[in-house]
Amino acid sequence: MIGAVAFAASAAVAAGDPGRVVLTVSAAGPQPTVDAAAGATAAVALPDGGAVLLGLEGERGLVVARIRADGALASGFGRRGVVHAALPEGATPSPPPRAAGRVFRVLQMLRAPDGRLLVIGMGTSRTLLELPQMVVVALTASGVLDTTFGDHGVARPGLQASCGVCRPAAIQPDGSIVLSGNLGSTSPPTGPDAPAFFEWYVARLTPRGDVDGSFGQGGFAAVGKPPGRNVGGYATSLLPDGRILALGRDDTGPQLMRLLPSGAADPSFHAATPVALPVPFAFSLATHPDGFTDVRGPDRVLRVDPDGALDPAFGAGVDVGPSFLGGLLALPGRSVLAYDAAGFDPRPASAGDLRVTKILADGRIDATPRLVAFGFGGGLARSRLDSGPPSPLPALAQTSFRASEVLLRPDRSVLAVGGVGVVRYTGEGSGVSTGRFAVGALTPGLALDTRFGGPVRRERLRVRPTEERRRTVQRHGRFVLRVRYSGTAALAHIRIRARGRVIAEELEPLFAPGTSTVKVPLRRRLPAGRLRVTITAEVRSLLADVVTQTVRVTLPR
């Protein structure tokens, strides 16, 4: 059956420091995965300066949060700013697929003119010979499933998703949805040299989620020829007059095509043929109202003029440094912001959170490309493996921010949306983690926007050892402490000294507020006799706020 809400209400909490917020949108505890820090994977800006954020919850759930312009959760949306929705059965192909894969993966979110939210994703493939099916799930402006759209809230346009990290859709002023992907399949056998017959297509859905038969041929417009192995559509954008820019590729490389609103090739653009782009791959584009289009390559930004020629002002492309999944954001005045996540895994805080480069209309770079540090925390605790020597102790000062979307607000300020969390590995590719939605804000000048977020909040910390004798600590090879912390998830650096030397040390994850039991392994054998030890706990939150406590105790023999 179709389920509009299928999860218990969360304890929605927004914690913020100037320039950044962390949102606890689910009551779920630590997860048996190392990927819980993915956080919000899609977002849209709102006319009031706020935003709607979206993430996956388990295999078949969506969690949607709305924030105000200042970063606080919007109290009139769902329960304290958060809605939990179950993916309906129609979000996966029917009949049930034979191919393996994740049930649903979010690619993009759009906001319709009437305020509805359209989640563009990919489900499992229909057969082993095809790519994952593209799926559109509609939510009302209040975040619940819109059962009037498509088949009980779900539309399957018949396209396959050509790319798992792209933004293939755009929404027209009347609410119609344009999507770029592919049709076709490989041919048996499915070996590495098997022939493939994929074709690049653009499709259009009506505002109600039906295939629009007036577009192209029965709702589909073919782009480029011939079929091939590496053929498909990656991204779509629109001009104010309804013409469609589609980015994709054939077996020779990336291409840019412009279509009329009817789906026919635009004769005023490169003689109604795709423009071959001089880069090995390109997954994102940004379109300006006057018809200029920017395309992001692996290390440069290309600009194509309204006639389909490469813009001489950008030459062979403006160098913005190496990137694989970098994005573009069109700015007023035909400027463009190239952005990249500074990393997808926890890293030293000095590595930053986001790289941004502003390119002006004439191809000049505005000042120096910037490495932005919003000031997030979290990261990797020390791995706890079943065998082998202890792993090295990571630094406490880490950032775990993983940017997934960058938004332009009406006042020209910028939001970077993603997730933060803490992770402990217990084996190769396995472990435990917890994640939160996270948002950082920049001014129009790309400085940290301190109007967003909130004043620094001082968290409470209490550390106490359990009742242990010296011989018990020595026999088990560790101290056991009780750590009570009032903040969100955090990393705790515990250091225990005796007679001027560090005798035990650990970097421990605190997955949730409350009391945690922490085991701190010995680094050396304990000195003989009664032992007076100094325990210092330094806890760094997901907002990088640090609180410290020192406790001195005497261990009897």
Q: What is the 3-state secondary structure (H, E, C) of 465-495?
A: ECCCCHHHHHHHCEEEEEEEECCCCEEEEEE
Give φ, ψ of 313 to 5 degrees: -60, -30
Quick: pLDDT tens for 57-114: 877 789 999 999 999 999 999 999 999 998 877 665 444 444 444 578 999 999 999 9
Quick: pLDDT tens for 34-62: 887 678 999 999 999 999 999 998 777 89
Q: 452 with 403, same domain? A: yes
Give φ, ψ of 470 to 5 degrees: -55, -45
Q: Are 229 and 198 in contact (CB under 8 A)?
A: yes
- Look at residue 139 and give its three-state secondary structure: strand
Q: Are 412 and 454 in contact (CB under 8 A)?
A: no
Task: Supply the pLDDT for residue 212.
Answer: 98
Q: Is 249 a member of any domain?
A: no
Q: What angle do CA 163, 167, 170 make, to 5 degrees?
A: 135
Structural domain of 496: 461-555
Q: 482 with 465, same domain? A: yes
Q: Is 440 a member of any domain?
A: yes
Q: Is 480 a member of any domain?
A: yes
Quick: pLDDT tens for 383-405: 987 766 778 899 999 999 999 99
Quick: pLDDT tens for 252-303: 999 999 999 999 999 999 999 999 999 999 999 999 999 999 999 999 999 9
114 burial via Cβ count (<10 Å: 0-12, 13-18, 19+)? exposed
The sign of the CA dihedral 241, 242, 245, 250 is negative
Q: Which of 194-198, 409-413, 441-445, 534-538 has the lowest mean pLDDT?
A: 194-198
Q: 470 with 547, same domain? A: yes
Helix (H) or strand (E) segment spanning residue 217: none
Matching residue, tokens 């109600």: 208
Helix (H) or strand (E) segment spanning residue 374: none
Query: Which CATH number does the domain housing residue 472 bear?
Result: 2.60.40.2550
Q: 447 with 476, same domain? A: no
Q: What angle do CA 178, 182, 188 make, to 5 degrees?
A: 160
**Domain edge (last residue) among 456, 478, 509:** 456
**Domain edge (last residue) among 456, 476, 503:** 456
Q: 486 with 549, same domain? A: yes
Q: Which of 186-195, 286-295, 511-520 has the lowest mean pLDDT?
A: 186-195
Q: Assign residue 69 a region: left if phi > 0, alpha if psi is -120 to 50, beta otherwise?
A: alpha
Alpha-carbon distances, residue 63 vs 156, 273, 304, 422 (angstroms): 21, 41, 38, 20
pTM, two decimal places: 0.92
Task: Supply the pLDDT for residue 13.
Answer: 67
Q: Which of 250, 131, 123 is nearest to 190 (CA)?
A: 131
Q: Is 123 a member of any domain?
A: no
Q: 379 with 419, same domain? A: yes
